[in-house]
Each structure stands twice: as C-alpha cells, then as structure tokens.
Amino acid sequence: MSSPLLEVHELAKHYPVKLGPFRTGMLQALSDVSFDVGVRQTLAIVGESGSGKSTLARQLLMLEKPNHGSLHHKGELLRWPQDVRSMQRRTRMIFQNPFESLNPRKQIYALLEEPLINHASDSAADRRERIYAMLDSVGLNPNQANRYPHMFSGGQRQRIAIARALIIGPELLIADEAVSALDVSVQAQVLNLLLDLIKAHGLSCIFITHDISVVEVMADEVLVLYMGRVMEYGRADEVLTKPMHHYTKTLLDCTPRFDRSGMRAMDEDQLAGDIPSSLNPPSGCVFHTRCRHVQERCRVEQPVLVEHEGRRLACHFPVSQRMAK
Amino acid sequence: MITHDENLMTPWQQNWQVLHSNVGAMLGLSVLLILVICAVFAPVIAPHDPAMQYSDALLVPPIWMEGGTMRFFLGTDDIGRDLASRLIYGARFSMSIGLIIVIIAMITGVLLGAMAGMRRGFVEASIMRLMDIILALPSLLLAIVIVAILGASLINAAIAVAIVLLPHFVRITRASVVAESSRDYVLAAQLDGARGPRLFAITLLPNIAAPLIVQSTLAFSSAILDIAALGFLGLGAQPPTPEWGTLLSSSREFIERAPWTVTLPGVAILITVMASNLLGDGLRDALDPRLKR
Amino acid sequence: MALLEVKDLKVSFTTNHGRLYAVDGIDVTLEAGESLAIVGESGSGKSVTSLSIMGLIENPGEVQAEHILFKGQDLASVSARKHRAILGNELSMIFQDPSSSLNPCFTIGAQIDEALKKHTDTSRKARRQRAIDLLKAVGIPDPESRLAAWPHQLSGGMNQRVMIAIAISCNPALLIADEPTTALDVTIQAQIMSLLKELGESRDMAMILITHDLGVVAETVDRVMVMYAGQVVESACKNDLLDHPQHPYTRALMESIPSGRLQGDQRLPVIPGRVPVLDMLPGGCRFHPRCKYADDKCRQQRPELVIDDNRSVRCFHPLGVIKHV
C-alpha cells in the first residue's frame, strides 16, 4: 500500500495581531489539522468564515511555514525552504475570484506562459504548442490567446485559470472556492470541465468550498473545519448522508435546496449567534457556543479527533442515528 | 452592462481613447510635440545661428513692437543675437535635460521603490527615511547645495534636480507595489515561480505604470522649472549656452529697457510647463482604474 | 388596490451602440404583505428593475413605463428625485454586501439615528430607544452596547442585520432586498432569510427579493418571477414554479444545481452557450440559442407573455402544461 500523495500531520498556524498600541493578540488560524489525500482522490474541505480554510490553502502551497506540524509528499517530509519550489510545481491553485486572479495587463498567452517559463524548460516553440493545446482542452479558442482577461466572461476566465493551473502538469490541484463567484449555470459548466480534466490527468484535488452541493458532486472525502479545527472527516457519501457532528448536520440542513423536500429547517436546527472571533476561541469544544445539544462537558473539555464508525470525529456527543431526520 | 466590441480594445487602447477625448491633454501633447520638433530640427528651423552676433542689431524689439523687423521677429539681445534662434536652440537643452532628469529619477526611483515595497523591513525603512529627508529639505535649496558641491554645470544641475525629484517616484512605486501585492494575480504569479526581479518587471510593473506615467509628466515640468531656476542663479548651464533659464539670468538687467529679452524666455518656460501639466492631468484621468469604462 | 403595480417597464441606456434595453417591458404586481422573488442570472436585468422601482436610475439610464403605481400614485412620469421623495418612508432597500453599505466612519448607533432623524420627528432619547428596539427586533444580542460599535467590529451577518434594522426603521410598506445573503456564510444566510420572512409577516411588509439562488427562494417567498435578458420568462406562485416549471430556462436552472453524486462518466446538466449581450440579442425568442426544445417558430417569432390562471410564461412550447378541460 503506497503512501498517499499528501499527508498533513497536526498542522497548526497562528498569527500575531495588533489589538492596540501595546497589546498583541494571537489569532489561532489552524490547530491540530491532520488529513491525507490519495492519488486520484478528491478531498473537499468545508468551512465558513473563520474556519481557517484560506490559511490551510496557504500552508498546503508552502507559502508560509507552519508553527507546528508537517507535510509529507508520498511519504517524504517536506522541508522548509528546500522543498518549496518543487512542491509549488506539483501543487497548483485555482482562485475564487476570476476577475482578480488574472493579471489585467497581460495577454492570456503570457499568463499561460509564465508557469512554463519558470517551472519547465521547454523551448519557445514547445511552449506555444502546450499553450494552444491547453486552451483547447479547457474549451477556449486558441486564437484568442492574444486577448486580455477583461475580454472574457467570468466563466471563461475561470477556464483560463484552470488552464494556467494545469499547464505544467501538476499532481495536486487546489480549488479555493473556484466556482462560488460564478452564476449557477456557469458553475455547472466549470465543474464539468474540472471533472473531465481531473479524470484525464489523473489528478488529486482539494476542493475548498462552503457549498455542500459542490461537495456532493466532486468529492470522495470531506473534511469539515470550524474555527481552525477538524470537526468531522470521512468519506463524502457517508458524511453527507449521515453526519455525526452537529455542525456538519447544521451545515447540511442550512444548505438551500429548491426542492421542498430538503427545505431548511427554520427554527429547530438553526445555529444561534455568530461565529466566534478567532482571537478568543471558546473553551472546551470550539463549537459549544452555538450547538443546540451542548452539555457541561462540552464547555470544559476539548474533544479529541477520534475514529468513530469509519470516520474521524471531534465531538463528545455525536448525532445518534435516532436523532437524524 | 457589457456590449460586444468595446471589450475588444487592449487596456492601452482604452486609455488612449479617453485621453484622446480630453481637449486640454491633446493640446498639451501637441505643444510638447512641436517643442520636440523644434529641439530636434533646430538647425533647420532656426533663422540664424544662435551664437552669431549682429553688431548692427543690438536690442532690436520683436516684430509686434515699434522698430521690430521680420529679420529678427522675436528681437535680439544686448549683443545682437537673434532671440528666436536662441529660444529654439534653447528648446534642445531644456527638453533634453528635462527628459534626462526624468529618466534618471524614474529609473532610480522605481528600483528603490520596488525594493522598498517588496522587501519590507529594514531595507524599506532605510530607503523611505532617506526619501523623507530629501523631501523635508526645500527642493531648490537642496539642488543648490548639491550643485555647489559638484560644481556648476548643466550636467551637475541635472543630477541635483534628479535627486530632488527622486522621492516622488519612490513613494508612488512603493505604495503601488504594496497595494498590488496583496491581490490574487500577484500571488498566482508567485506560485507560477516568479521571484523578485521577474515578479516585479513582468507582473507588477504594467499594473503600476499608470501613476508613474502621470508623475513623469509632472516631474518633467518640475525639472524644467528647477533647471531654469538653477540656470537663472548661474548654477546650471553657463552662458553662452542658450538654456532658457540662463537666458533669463543674463538678460536680467534689461528688464526695463528691453523686456522681451526676459519675458520671451519666461514665456517659453511657461508654455512648456503648462503643456506638460495639461498632459499630466489628462493622463491621470485616462489612467485612473476606478473610472471603469 | 395592489401596493405596487408596474406595467410595461423599460429601462434603457444610451451607449455608443445606440439605445440598449436592460429591462424590456416587464410587469410587476405586488399586494400588501406579499413577497416576490425576482430570479435571474447576470445580465437578466433584475437589479436594474429594482433600482428603477426605487427611483435610483438616472442619466444615462432612462426609465419608461405605462405606469408605476405605488399605493395608487403614478411614479412613471416624474423625475427620479421626485420619485424618491414621494416614496419617502414607504420603500426601503438592502444590498448585497453589508460591509460596503455601512459607512465605516460612523458607529452603528449614528447610522441608525441618521435614518430615524430623517424619517421621524422624535427626540434624541426616543430615537435611541427606538434604535435599541430595532436592533432587538433584528436579533442582535446586547443592543445597548452595539450602538457604540463600528461596522468593522461586527461580522457580515451582524452588519446585514443592522442594514435591515435601518431599512425597517421607518416602517416601510415595501422592502427590496438585492441579494441580501450572497456574501454571507451559509449558516448565517439561514438566519437572515428567516429574519426577513418573520419581519415581513409580523409587520405586514411586502418584500421583493432579488437573487440568483433558487434555493433561497424556496423558503421565503410567495411568488417567483424568472427573468432572462431583460424580460420575464415565467412567473408563478412559488410552489407551482418549483414543482412544475414551465419555461425551459427555469427548468434548466433548476437542473444545473448539483444535487447528488454523479456516477462514473455522468456530468452535470448545463445550459449551453451564454447569456446574450444586450447589443447582440438573438432574433425570435431570446433564449432559443440555448434551448433544447427550440424550433423554427422560436427562432423567428418573439413569444409573448401568456397569462393563464395566475401564472404566466413566455414560451411557444411551455413544458408540461396541463390543459384545463
């Protein structure tokens, strides 16, 4: 049994934050995050604001050094800073905002050429071939390569971003809310494209999203983050049909569905209050301030991520099957 | 609202379109072009040799005053040199020195600003504090001091003025670099493998060019004025070089007897500076990213 | 008498391509206390519609209509400024991004007070109490201390509640909400939508909800109107629309929302093509290039809005129409 493509062990990251002229607080962005991504597997990371998913993306791309924990690629520890460049060649990202992630003053050709120039050693003619082939495979006309980003629609720009990500043949693709900023009908097009390309190139993929319906379509496994900690982690089909963590259950219930069968429960399972500040996380279980099933133990003792019925769960009193709808 | 083909213009084409519709800017641009032509083709355009002294035509008034002739249509100075020719040749000096100063200040300023913006920390602090010191001193005074140290000549005056103009370019570059660096496309370029110099030159520079271009036209006006001031004080171009400021200086004493010898070089400076400023204002509007078209 | 009755609304903009119609002849009728959702993607004209009802369209935009009756008064022929003056306290609007709708330089209390000062005539003490009551009504905990807070100190969800408080402060008869939850986390979205629904019911306040998200529609509104390229393509009460969509675009929108895992090579259904640009509208039915049921009639003739038994559809071949015998 070969090692997974990427293993993350107990990753933790915090940032000092100025609270005033003489006070500095600590923002706990990530604590004790562990998971792995296998070859040709897609992991969805689900979280809302403050969950630490952006920080996690930065960690996976080795843009910042973690305060604790480590990353492993096919069993080998990734060292700072020696392995950064090679990791960035293997791991590519698609950003959320298609209007921001493409340099407005550069032609598409130049945007696609940049990673090739830096990471590959092709001749100019080889690069041209690869660029045209890549444009074609994302459904764009190669003779539009000399156009500027503003001449394309949001969906097309996201295709260009995908082309840029895949052009150097990575192993792992990180999609950070890659379809959230697009119209619904365009989202479907882009998701289909990603499914095709992921399959064609044999990629592993990490899909960071807050949209459960995207998770359903794209992911093999899902990791639920809240306040920088893992709440639940397991196979997507299991977690989404039988969530065991109360936060996961609420997320699923809150997901808008237009078929009235899945209508959001208006009062019962709704979360009270706001997401707490990451500067001052709650004691015990970080979710206890909003959990409808909170008990004394939850306020005091932080649940450990343990194996529970085939998945990992951090909850003292998981959702029992009797309670599920 | 998106329509079909206004999207097909390149960013620079879009900017040009806006600039083109600005009357003041086009006027300024035309005047500057005329001046450049005067400067380049001076030997062809000038009616006389600027150094030629016509002893029979001392302090001849310009053509619109009594006693003026077509031969010296802008008059002559106290030793019989044709003012029109001297002004035209003066354009050579003023325009070229202005351009050289701007180029020196811009290239140095952009490099320093880029280092400050990208490195942050100690490098940034030292560069910016140095710029603050330069800005804190009155610009002309600083230029005078530098020229006094280096010696009075046009080249040294140019260096002095370039130093005085440097901080503006450094500040603009640094601010733009810091602002743009937090945007996704810059992060994407870093992940593409671009580092330091390449990241700046290829990814950042086209996006921060706009305020730099505007600043360069304003710096050009300042440069002309400062060089003229230094020339006036005898610290720049030395007579008989027909630089406009020097012309002003050497004709000071004739301001009552033959005012044209002083006012006409002054008008030449005025026209150049105004043209440059008009163009600069127009460029600022045309290149402003917030005025989305 | 209906609260709002808009007939044949057209909003055009003069550009160098001539006069383009962002909204091309739509009717909107709303009774007191009723809620309507206007659903559409980018370029459908939904936001422009709401802005024109508010009187916020100015040069170079032009609003024409047979009539825009609000409580019986016709606003169609008056200037934008007079339009807004007549509406006064009766109409309020909340926008998508609460952090850019609130002024960062003023406290929450100051901004609510400003609204109250403009629309009511009471003492400072009375206004302060009213502000506290409003914050309570929108579910903000500890309202007294929140009055002194600054917008950046509150989360997105809290800021949106403040916006709602300001909007209802003058007891408007109609509230227009333009994508009020798009920028918010999904668990907060549920809270805000339920708040809006509850406020509408308890204050007998009519509501127009503008959204691209059919899921949000499913729970909060009475009627739904679907817009495409400046026209209404379907309008019905919510249950009818969601159970039996008649226009192919509506059906296609519903199908593009992912729901459920795909098997093997299965892909999400997509609507081919893109929303047309206003200066290059297709001949005949505006949706025909993307419609799988289009035939020659659709390509050549423009379908009219056919009203039948409280629902209307603009299509020559509506789906599954049950003929009443």
pLDDT tens per residue across span B196-208: 899 999 999 999 9
Contact A105 B11 (CB under 8 A): yes
Give me the interface pTM, i.e. the ipTM.
0.88
Spatial CA neighbour of B159 closest among B214, B102, B216: B102
Residue C218 phi/psi, 5-degree rounding, is: -60, -25
Distance CA B103, CA B98 (A): 9
Average pLDDT over residues C30-53: 88
Q: Which pLDDT belongs to residue C325?
A: 34
Q: Please list every residue in chain A whose beta carbon sits closer than 8 Å to the beta carbon of residue B194.
A: 114, 118
Write the residue in A106, A151, A164 that is nearest to B8 by C-beta. Answer: A151
Instruction: For residues A248-275, give the mean pLDDT.
Output: 65
pLDDT over 90 at C86, yes or no: no
pLDDT at B260: 87
Nearest to B185 among A85, A102, A147 (CB): A102
Cβ separation C278–B6 shorter than 8 A: no
Count of CB pairs separated by less than 8 Å, A with C: 122
Q: Does the CB of B44 have a partner CB in chain C at under 8 Å?
A: no
Q: How much of chain B, in percent, has pLDDT values that exceed 90?
A: 42
Q: Does B15 touch chain A (CB under 8 A)?
A: no
Smallest CA–CA distance, residue A316 to chain C, in Å, is 22
Are C217 and A258 a contacting pair at CB < 8 A? yes
For B162-174, give one letter per residue: b (16+ CB within 10 A) or e. Answer: bbbbbbbbbbbbb
The shortest C-alpha distance from B7 to chain A (Å) reads 5
Q: Which residues of B52-87 are buried (b: 16+ CB within 10 A; e: fewer)?
A: ebeeebebbbbeeeeebeeebebbbbeebbbbbbbb
In a 13 Å sphere around the CA of C291, the CA atoms on its Cβ side amount to 26
| pLDDT at position C323 | 42
pLDDT at A324 over 70: no
Chains with 3 or more CB pairs closer than 8 angstroms to B?
A, C
Length of chain C: 325
Contacts A103 to B, Cβ<8 Å: 185, 188-189, 203, 206-207
pLDDT band per the 50, 70, 90 thresholds, residue A259:
low
A39-97 pLDDT per residue, tens = 999 999 998 878 888 899 999 999 999 999 999 999 899 998 889 999 999 999 999 88
Distance CA A195, CA A197 (A): 6
Instruction: Encode pLDDT of A57-71 as tens digits.
Output: 999 999 999 999 999
Q: How far is CA C254 from CA A108, B183, C59, C250, C321, in A?
A: 33, 34, 36, 6, 18
Query: How close, in Å, is residue B21 to chain C by CA atoms?
Result: 14
Q: Which residues 235-294 of C have a C-beta within 8 angstroms of B?
A: 277-280
What are the tens digits of pLDDT across the range C68-82?
Answer: 888 888 887 777 777
Cβ contacts of C243 within 8 Å, gap of 6 or more: A260
Task: Read off φ and ψ for residue C93, nearest 5 degrees.
Answer: -140, 140
Contact A184 C185 (CB under 8 A): no
* Euclidean distance between CA atoms A183 and C269, whole angstroms: 14
pLDDT-based confidence at C142, cuts 50/70/90?
A: confident
Q: Which of C215, C253, C271 sits opposite A256 (nearest CB)?
A: C215
Phi, psi of B82 (to 5 degrees): -70, 125
Yes or no: say if A273 and A288 are a contact pair by the CB < 8 Å rule: no
Contacts with B1 from chain C: Cβ below 8 Å? 13, 15, 20, 22, 43, 278
Q: What residues does A6 pair with on adjacent strands?
A: A37, A73
3-class secondary-structure state, position B82: strand
- Contact flag A216-C194 (C-beta cutoff 8 Å): no
CB B59 within 8 Å of CB B77: yes
Question: Closest by alpha carbon to C173, among C145, C203, C137, C150?
Answer: C203
Contact between B184 and A101 using a beta-carbon 8 Å cutoff = yes
Would the pLDDT of B170 be above 50?
yes
Nearest CA distance, B196 vs chain A (angstrom): 13
Task: List the Cα angle A4/A63/A98 in 5-degree steps.
Answer: 95
**Could A270 and C190 be called an inter-chain contact, meaning their C-beta atoms sit closer than 8 Å?**
yes
Is there a contact between B188 and A119 if contact means CB atoms under 8 Å apart? Answer: no
pLDDT digits (tens, 9 = 90+) for A173-208: 999 989 888 887 888 889 999 999 999 999 999 999
**Burial group, residue A324, by CB count within 10 angstroms (0-12, 13-18, 19+):** exposed
- Do the beta carbons of residue C230 and residue C279 sit within 8 Å? no
Sketch out chain A's domains with CATH numbers.
6-324 (3.40.50.300)
Q: Is B13 helix (H, G, I), strand (E, B) or coil?
A: helix
Give CA angle at A238 (A235, A243), nearest 5°: 110
Q: How confident is the model at residue A3 (pLDDT cuts 50, 70, 90)?
A: confident
* Chain C residues in contact with A210 (beta carbon < 8 A): 185-186
